Structure formats: C-alpha cells, structure tokens
Amino acid sequence: MNTKQYIAVEDKYGAHNYHPLDVVIDKAKGIWVWDVDGRKYLDFLSAYSAVNHGHNHPRIIKALIAQARKLTLTSRAFRNDQWPMLAKELCQRTGYDMVLPMNSGAEAVETAVKTARKWGYQKKGIPQDQAEIIVCANNFHGRTVTVISFSTEPLYRKDFGPFTPGFKIIPFGDADALEKAITPNTAAFLVEPYQAEAGILIPASGYLKKVREICSKNNILFIADEIQTGLGRTGKLFAWEHEKAKPDMIVIGKSLGGGCYPISACLATADVMNVFRPGEHGSTFGGNPLACAIARESLRVIKEENLVANAAKMGKYFMAKLRTIKSRHIKEVRGRGLLIGVELYPEAGGARRYCEALAAAGLLCKETHDNVIRFAPPLIIGTKDLDWAFEKIKEVFVQLDK
Ligand SMILES: *Cc1c(COP(=O)(O)O)cnc(C)c1O
C-alpha cells in the first residue's frame, strides 16, 4: 500500500482526534525516518521529545529485547527485579528520595495532583475537600478529565465537562500573581518550567527561583512538569536546573521510555511521597519490568553519550543560525537547548503551511498553536545534520516569503 491508501484506511477506521502531516512512516534509525513510499526525512520533532535518544537506539533496543525475553509484567501484586533498581537509579541521578511509576504523562500528572492533595490534608492540615492547586494559563499537562479541568485551551475542554474542581489559574511567568493566589488551602503550584505546547514560552530569568521562594515561604509544594523539558531537552538534565530552583516534586515521562515504550514517574522528597499507603493509588502496568529495564538503559545512554551537554551546545549553535534568517514573517526565534520555537507573524499565513513545505523538503516538524514552528530534533544530532536542516529551513522561508 502507498501513502494515499494508508491515509484512507486511517481516516475511515481511526478516530479523528489528530491532524497529522500526511507522511506515513514505516522505518527509522537515529535521527532519520522513512515513509512507505521510500522517502527519507529528518525527524525534527522527536515525538514531542519522547525520542530524545533517536529512533531505535541500539543499546535501548538491546535492553528491550533482553528484558522481553526474561520478564515483562508482574503487576505490583508481586515484586520484580527491575523496578527497585530504576527507582534507586532515578533518585541517585536526580537528587529526589522516592519515585512513583506510571505509564503516560497525563497519569503521572494525575498522580502529582493526588499526592499534593493528600499531602495538603495530612501534612498541612487543609480541611477535607478544600485543597487548591494553582496552575498557569496556557498550560499543557495532558488529556484526562482532571487535567483538562485546569486547561485554558477551549479546544481541549469543549463538550468534555463537568470538570474537576480545586484549581486556580494564574498567568504564566508572573510570580506576584502566584503570591496573590495563595490561600491557607493551597496545597501546591504546578507549572511547566518552559511552556512547550503553548509555543515554547520561556519566562523571564529569575521566575523559577522566585516561585521556589514563594512556595517555601507559604508551605506549598512546588511541582514541575518536566515531561517535555526534562532529561536533557533544554540543555540541562531538568529545566529547573537553569535557575537552581529545585521543586519538591517533578513529573517525567516521554523520553524516559527511550523512544520505544511508555513510562512516566513522579519524583519527590520522602516527606511528600510517604503520604501514600498500600492500595491508595496504583497502575497495573506502572513499574513493569520491561518499562523499567528500558528506562534504566535510557538514563545510562543520556549520561554516557553526553546528550545533555550536546543539547546545550547544538541548541546554541542552531539557534544562532536560525537568527541569521532574514524573513519578514519571523517575529522571534526563542528556546533553550534543543527546544526551539520560531514564532511567525499572523500575516505569514500560519505555521502549518511551513511545516508542510518543510516536510516536502525532507524535514519533519510540527506547528504548536497557529503561529509557532517547533524545532526539537533528537538530542544525538550533530552540526552536519543541523547544517543540512538549516539549508532546508532557509529555502522554505525564501520560497514562502514570495
Ligand atoms: C506530553 C506532555 C504531557 C502528557 O503526556 P502524555 O504521555 O501524552 O499523557 C504532560 N505534560 C507535558 C509538559 C507534556 O509535554
């Protein structure tokens, strides 16, 4: 079957909850993917940063196959030999005390919300069912009903109510607004250090540090959603490190699974994580040995291949190049590490047509909202391939500037 035929089948039998570019991929290696018609593309999205290690990383695939042959699932009714080691290695690597494993990012965010509420009642003495969690406008934390209950994007919410109460929304990047929103019933502040889905929004420097101070002063938990920014994407292992503003709890997912298996986790201090007793929360596949073996190898690859330092270096290199493009349609180039956004003026006719032209030129990326093109290649990329991508991007801007 060819591209057209696969798309026809997908559109007939698959729910229409996405609007993908019309590229049908059937093979990948490292930073490259191939479609069913044999065309080759550079992956400049990395599955929203889930493929930070590149596709089919040989070490990660090897770990996957070895573990798949030994043991894949026990449920947490029994113990297995991989989960304790992942928990220990994650803690040693990140400086947190304890880990709660889940599968998808949204589930880990839900876990963080449940943890914060329980902490609020048990440790802070908030009256039952009164706990509040403060979040930011334009956030993206996933798609479950509770998580979209505090989204400000109408598209994510319309016809999905009624919603979960207990959330207060303040502007992103505004520490004063946080201070003002806190009440005696506030349990936590949940925030993405950089808002990726909102269009790669980077708050003014000093924001996270101020957030850390305000949360400490008011005895509320600072929770960072590092699902997309974490594990090296922004040029630090975690985005909070840019300001040395260590949260009480972080949520990770996406590239923890090495680009091939879903796994997510909440990491916290012992004081916070110890609110859980057996039976109060869980997941059949959470902490399964296959996911854990893959995540362990993914963490080792990040370290041994210096992916964090490479993201920092390549990000700087590439952003400087992007800034040399002269186009009347570019409003701003911004980012950290290899999480880069090119914001276009509305007159440019939308980022989607740029992504379509880039795909035709062999570069796969995706618009976020209407006017931002996101560039987020795998963290293994080097200057030679970035130079190749840059030429394609420049050509597309020349072509669409006409
Ligand atoms: C992708 C993402 C999520 C949701 O993760 P899923 O695995 O898609 O549920 C949550 N928060 C952020 C910041 C993300 O980028």
Among the listed residues 173, 231, 213, the one whose alpha carbon sits nearest the alpha carbon of residue 53? 231
C-alpha distances out from residue 90 to 87, 298, 299, 399, Å: 5, 11, 8, 47
Our answer on whether the CB atom of 226 is closer than 6 Å to any ligand 1 atom is no
What is the per-residue pLDDT for 188? 98
CA distance linking residue 42 with residue 364, whole number of Å: 6
Is residue 402 predicted with pLDDT exceeding 90? Answer: no
Catalytic residue among 140, 172, 238, 285: 140
Is residue 212 predicted with pLDDT exceeding 90? Answer: yes
- Give residue 340's pLDDT band: very low, low, confident or very high (50, 70, 90): very high
Annotated active-site residue 238? The verdict is: no
Spell 157-168 as b/e; 16+ CB within 10 A means b. eeeeeeeeebbb
Catalytic residue among 210, 236, 254, 321: 254
Dist. CA 142 → ligand 1 center (Å): 5
Does the domain at 3-57+306-400 match CATH 3.90.1150.10? Answer given as: yes
Decide: helix, strand or coil at residue 399.
helix
Annotated active-site residue 40? The verdict is: no
Pairing of strands 264-268, 98-102: antiparallel
Residues of the chain with CATH 3.90.1150.10: 3-57+306-400
299 CB-near residues (< 8 Å, 6+ apart): 89, 90, 93, 231, 256
Atom of ligand 1 minimally distant from the CA of 225? 13
Residues of the chain with CATH 3.40.640.10: 58-304
Tell me the percentage of the chain whose pLDDT exceeds 70.
100
Among the listed residues 379, 377, 301, the one whose alpha carbon sits nearest the alpha carbon of residue 93? 301
Which of 228, 233, 249 maximizes ligand 1 atoms within 8 Å of its Cβ, making it the mutation to test the pocket? 228
Which of 17, 46, 140 maximizes ligand 1 atoms within 8 Å of its Cβ, making it the mutation to test the pocket? 140
pTM above 0.85, yes or no: yes
Q: Quick: pLDDT tens for 291-319.
A: 999 999 999 999 999 999 999 999 999 99
Our answer on whether the CB atom of 110 is closer than 6 Å to any ligand 1 atom is no
Atom of ligand 1 minimally distant from the CA of 264? 7
Mean pLDDT calculated for residue range 207-217: 98
In CATH terms, 58-304 corresponds, of 3.40.640.10, 3.40.50.2000, 3.40.50.10320, 3.20.20.150, to 3.40.640.10
Write down the mean pLDDT value for the chain.
Answer: 97
